Structure 1
């Protein structure tokens, strides 16, 4: 008869193997969707990239949209961890944001372009917008007005000044160096500081 310790070890090893397979599938899908349109990537492509069967993907995520939702959750958690910045320190805030955008900005722009036709991406984008807004409220807590129209206006300006499309404009479309683009964002954020403007 199998001992309790042996059974526990076997179950633990099985759970670890399943989690490793799940992570491999997620990484494969992220890699493919970072450079190709959502509709152009099939479950078979992801299975081949991850070294698993399509059925294994279905067992873990139910469907392609289920996999996309899981990726959105995973990236949201990673973003939360990566975007740690001291409140009110504009250069540090911008540096942290650029570190994220330099690694994931191109993929983000590609996904955003598909929001209107892929429900899973629309859900992910809506969550990302809420997450970015919450981050802005946290890192700029020292400068934002109290609750009300003035705060909403200030948040709108800060959102525009830190949006991934502005990063794309500077880094990809205009070809600015990262240093120059970071300096531009710092200047923009400094210029819209509510403490220096009248929002009433």
Structure 2
């Protein structure tokens, strides 16, 4: 009996984790194509193949699902954005891979941040992570900590923002290679080391 109990507890924990994952992935799938307010707990339950009560038991409600979805997406983005330090073309390709996959959903969420506190929280965290990622992949060119570094990071953020991707790819209809080249040109132009060489 004692040997079976840890197994049962382990199996139960695995089942709970699998149910939570199904709910979160269902919510993400719905919110990548629909407005936040248009997705109800019933929609998420139907998509995940669970009851609304199961969602409430796991996440308390829609805000809890949103926070969990944002955390899950952060992990997906971190896994996808592995790029070598200082290799501008490769960094841009990795970023575009992510934006081509999730950029439209990002823009949809940004449009709702002013009226949905859970989305505003998620976007604030995502912005912090993007800035930290930029500090990591452009570590070779950034000045020492201080105002100059903060300014350089702000420029790099602007040059890699999802809205710039949207402008080039969606609004102007640029082919991906042309949009990537434009971003590379911007990142090259704002390299702080260029000023030191002039």
Report the Cα distance in structure 1 between the residues aligned to 2:147 and 2:35, rounded to whole angstroms. 38
2:128 aligned residue (127, 130, 135): 130
- Summarize the alignment of residues 1-200 of structure 1 with structure 2, pairs less than 5 Å apart: 3-197=1-195
Give the count of matched residue pairs: 196
SS in 1 for 2:3: helix
Unpaired segments ≥5 residues, structure 1: none
Structure 1: distance between partners of 2:32 and 2:175: 22
TM-score (norm 1): 0.95
RMSD: 1.0
Using the TM superposition, name which of 70-79 and 157-166 deviates more.
Answer: 70-79
Structure 2: unaligned runs, 5 residues or longer: none
TM-score, normalising length from structure 2?
0.96
Q: Could you tell me how far apart the structure 1 residues matched to 2:17 and 2:152 are?
A: 42
SS at match of 2:108: helix
Stretch deviating more after TM superposition (73-82 or 114-123): 73-82
Output the CA distance in 2 between the equivalents of 1:151 and 1:45: 45
* Structure 1 stretches of at least 4 aligned residues deviating more than 4 Å after TM superposition: none
Shift of 1:197: 2.2
